[in-house]
Amino acid sequence: MPDPNPNSKTESSSVIALGDRHPFNLRSDVDQLIAKDDRDTALRRLGELWSRDPGSGTASFVISRIEQLREKSGDKLHLAKFKVAILRSFTVEPIVPLLRAEAFAYGIDLKVHVGDFNTYVQDIIDGHGSLYRFSPDAVVLAVRADQAAPELWHNFADLAPDAAQDAAQRVVHSYEQWIGTFRKHSQAALIVHSLEHPALPSLGVLDDQSEAGQSGLIRKVNRELRRIAAGFHGVYTLDYDALVSRHGAEHWHDERKWLTARLPIAAGHLLDMAREWMRFIVPLSGRTAKVLVVDLDNTLWGGVIGEDGMAGIKISAEYPGAAYQALQRTLLDLSRKGILLAICSKNNLDDAMEALETHPGMLVRAKHFAALRINWTDKSQNLREIAQELNVGLDALAFLDDNPFEREQVRAALPEVTVIDLPKNSLEYASAVRNSAVFERLTLSSEDQLRTEMYAAQKERAGAEQNFQSKEDFFRFLEQEAELEPVSELTLARVAQLTQKTNQFNLTTRRYTEPQIAEMAKQPEWNVFSIKVRDRFGDHGLVGVAITHDQTEHCEVDTFLLSCRVIGRTVETALLAHLAESAARRGRKRLVGWFLPTKKNAPARDFYPQHGFEQQESNGTGSMWTLDLPSSTLHSPDWIKLVTAESKSGGKN
Amino acid sequence: LTATTFEQVRNIASDIFGVSSEKITAESSPETIENWDSMQHLNLVLAIEEKFGVQLDPEDIEQMKNIGAVAALVDKMQSAAP
C-alpha cells in the first residue's frame, strides 16, 4: 500500500522515543531545564509529566517546580491568575495540590484559600473575615448532606411526614440565606455543591416509592437549590450526586478516611473532585477554547480514507464505527454550545471531501466546519492559518489528533494551543473530549448557539469583499446596521462574557463579572451599552460592549471592545462617534479614554489617534487620550445605520 | 519485588516531602524529614493508596513510622490481595 506521507516512518519512531520517556526521568529533565533557566520547555515538560502521571505525588512535585519557576521569572509566567476559596464541611487539603496542578495544565496559576473546618456559615456572614479579605474570583461551597441536612440524613426514620417536609424546607431556607448574604459581601462566582442522595436510604426500597422519602426530599432540596442559584448572577450548582454516581458511590466513598481524617472521598477519586471544580474554574477564568480543530483519519473516522477508501473507513452505528459516531455526536454538542469546529488533516482534499459530504455513516458534514485545512502542510502552520481565518488567537484553539507525534509537534511549536490527549482506544475518544474543561460554558447566549451559521455567512462576505473596486463600495454594499442598547437582563450574560473573552479589539481589557456589570448599570453616571451588528449576509449578534463613566467635565470610556468579526468595517468609528455625541448632549466637554496595551490588543492600539484624539498622558500601564467635544469633527460614516434608544423613540433629546 | 516497591515508595516520598530521593533511606522518618508533619503524613497515605490501589486501615497507618515500614506494609497488602 502506498504511504501517503513519506515521513511517517521516521515520525513514528520518534513517537516511540517520546512514549518511552519515563515520568521519573521527566522529573530530572524538568530540574535540569530549570537549572538552565529554559522556563518554557520546563513548563511544557511539567505539563507532560502531569498528563502522564497525575496524582498526589506528582502534584506536589509540579507545584514546587512551578514555585521555583515563578521565583526565577519574577512572577512573570505565562499563566492566568485566578483565586478560589473553598468553604467546606470536610477535609479538602489533600485535594488542593491536585487542583493547583490540574489548573496549571489549563494555563491557570491558581491561588487557593481554604476556610476553617465547618466554619462556612461564619465565613459567609463575617464581611471582614478571611474569606472576603482574600478577594476570591470564585468560591466553592462544599457542604456534605450530613452537615447541610442533618435531620434528613441521620434522623429520617424519626421524622413524621410533615416534620420531614419542614426539615427539607429549613435546609432550602438556610442555603437561600447563605447565598443572599454572600452576594451582599462579594461579587465573586459561587459554586454550590448540591446534596448527594443516600446510597442506602433509611427505609430501603420503600424509600423510592414516594417523593416524600429520604431521597425524594433531598432531590427536592436540590431542585430548590437550582432555582435559588438561577435567581442570582454568577451562582452555579455543582451536581455532587451526579459526580458521585459517575464514579460509583461505593468506590467514591472511603468510610475509614471519613471517620479518622474527615476525608469522605477515596484516594483514587480526589483528582476527580479537583477536575469537577476545574469545569467551573476554567470557564470563569476565560481559559476556554473557542474552536476545536480535528484530524480526520483515525480521529473523525476509523482507518485512512486515502488507503482504505469510502468502503473501508469505519463510521457507522456498529462497532468499531460507533466509537467515531460517538465522537461526532460530541462535536455536534460542542457546536450547539457555540464552539466552532475546524479540520486540519494530512490528506488529499478530494478523498476527504467525498467522505465528509457523502459517507452515509457521517453525522457531521463539511457545513459544520468553519474552516478546513486538508493538505500536506505542517499542522502547526495550518493551525496558525485557521486562527487567522476565524479571527481568534492561537490560545482559542483546541487540537484533537490521534497521532502523538502531531500532538507533540503542535505542543512544541504552538504552546498556546490546547492539545487534547486522545486515549489509544477509540471507544474512549468521546469521553476524552467531554471531560475537557476547555469546552465548558456556564452561560449560553443565543450568539453562542448561532455561531457556526454566522461564520458560514462570513465566508460569503469575505468572497464578496474581493469583488469591489473600493472599500467604500464594499461598505455600502454590506448595508451594515449597528444597534446600541443599554445593558438589560437579557444581554447581561453576553456582555459580561465579552468583557471576559475579548482580547484583540479591546482598549482596556477590563474583565467584569455579571454582578459587576449589573452593579455598574444601576449607577446613573455609568452607561453600559451592548452593541449588535447586522449586515446583508446575516446577523452577527451581540458583538461589542461600551462602558462610559461621566465625570463633571468629561466622560471617560471605561471599556470599548468589539469582536474581531466586525472590526475594520468602520462600525467602530460609528460607535465612537455616537459615544462622543451623546456625551456632548449630556453637557460633557471632553471624551477621554485609556489604551492599556496587552500582548494581544495591538489591533486597538491606534484607535484613538486615528479618530482625532490627542494623547494627554502616558505611564507604565498605558496612554490616555482625549477628544475635545465642541471642536470635534468625529462623525459616523453615512453607510452605517445606527440604531439607538434615542433614534427608536424618535430622538427624545 | 521488595526493592522496586521501596524505590516506588521512595519516589513518592520524595515528591510529597520535597526531598531528593537519594537522601531518603529505609530509616527516614518524621524525625529526619522536616516536612513530615501530620498533614503530609495524610498526603503520603493518599499517594500510596492511589499509586498501589490499596486502602490502608487506621492501624496500618499508625505503623508507617519510617519509609522502610511503609514499603513493607505495601508489600504485605499487595501479597495479601487475591
Q: What is the pLDDT of residues B36-65, one digit of tens each?
A: 998 999 999 999 999 999 989 999 988 899
Percent of chain A with pLDDT over 70: 91
**Residue A99 grid coordinates:** 487542583
Using the predicted structure, report yes or no on whether residue B1 has a pLDDT greater than 60: no
Chain B closest-CA separation from residue A555 CA (Å): 55
Task: Inform me whether the C-beta atom of residue A94 falls under 8 Å from chain B C-beta atoms.
Answer: yes
The mean pLDDT of A324-337, rounded to a whole number, is 95
Q: Does A622 touch chain B (CB under 8 A)?
A: no
Query: What are the grid coordinates assigned to A583, written together?
Result: 456625551
**Does A68 contact B at CB distance below 8 Å?**
no
Which of B12, B15, B48, B51 to substitute to test the interface with A, most A CBs within 10 Å? Answer: B15
Q: Verify whether the Cβ–Cβ distance B47 to A260 is below 8 Å.
A: no
From the list A419, A444, A400, A439, the residue with the least C-alpha distance to A541 is: A444
What average pLDDT does this structure show over A335-363?
A: 93
Residue A94 has its nearest CB partner, among B12, B43, B57, at B43
pLDDT at residue B82 in the model? 56
Give the helix/strand (H/E) hosting A370: strand A369-375
Q: What is the pLDDT of residue A468?
A: 60
User: Which residues on chain B are in Cβ contact (under 8 Å) with A58?
Assistant: 15
Report in angstroms the alpha-carbon separations of A278 from A283, A347, A402, A443, A498.
Answer: 8, 36, 24, 16, 21
Give B35's contacts in chain A (Cβ within 8 Å): none
* A-B Cβ pairs (cutoff 8 Å, strict): 52
B32 touches chain A (CB under 8 A): no
Cα distance between residue A420 and residue A292, in whole Å: 10
Per-residue confidence (pLDDT) for residue A5, from 0 to 100: 43
Q: Which residues of B touch A264 (CB under 8 A)?
A: none
Question: Residue A125 pLDDT > 70, yes or no?
Answer: yes
ipTM: 0.91
Whether B39 contacts chain A with CB within 8 A: yes
Average pLDDT over residues A213-240: 96
Give the distance from CA A246 to its chain's centroid: 23
pLDDT band at B3 (very low <50, low <70, confident <90, very high): low
Q: Which of A60, A67, A95, A270 to mutate to test the interface with B (most CBs of B within 10 A)?
A: A60
Q: Global pTM?
A: 0.73
pLDDT of A225: 97
What element of type H or E holds A561?
A: strand A554-562
Lowest mean pLDDT of A134-148, A374-388, A563-577, name the range: A563-577
Provide the pLDDT confidence category of residue A615 given band limits of 50, 70 and 90.
Answer: very high
Least confident of A83-97, A637-651, B19-33: A637-651
Task: Look at A77 and B9; give whichever has higher pLDDT.
Answer: B9
The answer to whether A309 contacts chain B (CB < 8 Å) is: no
Whether residue A147 has pLDDT greater than 60: yes
pLDDT at position A10 over 70: no
Give the cell for residue A90.
470536610
Nearest-angstrom CA–CA distance, A591 and A582:
10
- Set of chain B residues whose Cβ sits within 8 Å of the Cβ of A254: 55
Q: Inter-chain contact B11–A56, Cβ cutoff 8 Å?
A: no
Of A83-87, A481-485, A614-618, B16-20, which one has max mean pLDDT? A83-87
CA–CA dist A299, A11 (Å, integer)? 18
- Position B24 scores a pLDDT of 95
Out of A99-103, A174-178, A428-432, A488-492, least confident range: A488-492
Give the pLDDT confidence score for residue A7 in this predicted structure: 41
Q: pLDDT: is A474 or A592 the higher one?
A: A592
Q: Is residue A2 over pLDDT 90?
A: no
The verdict on A254 touching B (C-beta cutoff 8 Å) is yes
Is a pLDDT exceeding 50 seen at residue A470?
yes
pLDDT of residue A459: 64
Contact A289, A338 (CB under 8 A): no
Give the pLDDT of residue A8: 39
Contacting residues of B for A263, CB less than 8 Å apart: 42
Side-chain half-sphere CA neighbours of A305 within 13 A: 23
Which stretch, A14-23, A445-454, A557-566, has highest mean pLDDT?
A557-566
Instruction: Give the contacts of A596 (CB within 8 A, at least 6 positions apart).
Output: A507, A508, A509, A621, A622
Res A638: pLDDT: 87
Distance from CA of B51 to the nearest CA of A (A): 8
For chain B, say whether A58 makes contact (Cβ under 8 Å).
yes
Q: DSSP labels for A460-509?
A: HHHHHHTT-SSHHHHHHHHT-EEEEEE--TTTHHHHHHHHHH--SSBSS-
- Rounded to a whole number of angstroms, the distance from the CA of A217 to the nearest CA of chain B is 33
Taking an 8 Å cut-off on Cβ atoms, the answer to whether A261 and B18 are in contact is: no
How far is the C-alpha of A271 from the C-alpha of A55, rounded, in Å?
Answer: 7
pLDDT of residue A9: 36
To the nearest 10°, report the CA torsion of A194, A196, A197, A202: -110
Q: In which band, very low, low, confident or very high, does the pLDDT at A348 lie, cut at 50, 70 and 90?
A: confident
The pLDDT of A576-580, averaged and rounded, is 93
**pLDDT on residue A373:** 93
pLDDT of residue A435: 94
Q: Please tell me the predicted confidence (pLDDT) of residue A476.
A: 80
Minimum mean pLDDT among A224-233, A366-375, A440-449, A518-527: which range? A440-449
Are B43 and A97 within 8 A, CB to CB? Answer: yes
Is the Cβ of A448 closer than 8 Å to some Cβ of chain B? no
What is the average per-residue pLDDT within A601-625? 91
**Rounded-to-integer distance, Cα A325 and Cα A537, Å:** 32
Question: Which of B16, B17, B36, B46 to substitute to test the interface with A, most A CBs within 10 Å?
Answer: B46
Of B15, B42, B57, the CB nearest to A256: B57
Query: Within an 8 Å CB–CB cutoff, is residue B45 touching chain A?
Result: yes
Q: What per-residue confidence (pLDDT) applies to B30?
A: 94
Chain A residue numbers touching B46 (CB-CB < 8 A): 56, 94, 267, 270
- The grid coordinates of residue A25 equal 526521568
pLDDT of residue A282: 96
Residue A95, pLDDT above cutoff 90: yes
Taking an 8 Å cut-off on Cβ atoms, the answer to whether A267 and B61 are in contact is no
A536 pLDDT more than 60: yes
Angle, CA A415 vertex, CA A411 and CA A421 arms, to 5°? 40
Summary mean pLDDT of chain A: 89
Residue A391 pLDDT greater than 50, yes or no: yes
Chain A residues touching B11 at Cβ < 8 A? 24, 57
The confidence score (pLDDT) of residue A205 equals: 94
Place of cell 462600525: A571
